[in-house]
Structure 1
């Protein structure tokens, strides 16, 4: 029944169009009028057929484009949710670093801070005096020297976003007026390397630090105390033990 209705719909226009054209050009010859009607009917049918074909093709292409956009949207949403799930498990782009140490006398208590969107798991850190480390490297390898010179920070199983954990680990600043340290901080999502410098000015310790994710040149975090000595470009001189 639907087929008959569709045929009637498509041939309704050509039939009456051809009939009107044949009647308009009728000159008394019935045979000639039928011939004119038949040719006109098939010509108009062909034109309307092309019209419906193009219309259907355009609608199909529009539907396919909409489907493609919907699928792409679903894929993007799935990718975002997958990355979010992975971030919740591994830590994503989050990282941990040593926050401005709490200095009492000649000791600086280590505090581990979180930066980023996702929680960090199995956070551990080792901090070594750079001068002591350089001395040990002369006699043993780099890895062994760091392990021998480091102050070990107790393992933090979970570090939530915005959280700062005060640890029992302390850095000995000693009687000198300057100290430099390097820290390796590991979590489930990778390693960050942090450099720290302490300079005593008028009896008060000033502090500067810079943090890099392993393999990246641009720092992910940096801080310089007000009054900390900097070079003529306004930057901390990390390559020298002496503040200049």
Structure 2
């Protein structure tokens, strides 16, 4: 059985990265697709773990080679998802999580319409603004661009199957985990496993001796008794 492709998207500062990291700690048989990007590495990030950080030229070379499932320019930087990695993980039966922007999510759903799409919604604009400001990783003009883009991105939550409100990390993590587990149990996604189970019943039916149902040849004695005559 193939794994599920899980798209997790939100406006910048929505908390999708934090929630994904928490879910990866507690769920088995799930992987994370590390994207390629041309943006600068932030403090605390690791190349190959958070992103593959490449130059504009390297990114364009990867596009020419057909290495990306999707790619897009977001907030002035390029982001791309590795096609080979995603296919390998899904074929191996592992769920794979994509942390991706709204624009990239739309592109992937065109290629993988069966993908599970989840939108992480901040509880308010004020909270989103505080999170981005506290991050202190962007210049003022970059911060303003992300905030401006968030107005359009938030309105596109209707394009996603699920919405998780990230007001409190523990609850939002549990909501995200519950969605992923529920998707694993959907009938259509369990089709291969169910077929194998049903096939095993067919094989057992052929090997078991035939059991004929017992016929009730004689009526029970109490049914043979005539009801007493009524006395007038």
Mark yes or no: TM-score above 0.5: no
Structure having the higher strand fraction is 1
* Greater share of residues in helix: 2
Which of structures 1 and 2 has the bigger CA Rg? 1
Q: Which has the higher contact order (CA 8 A, sep 6+)?
A: 2
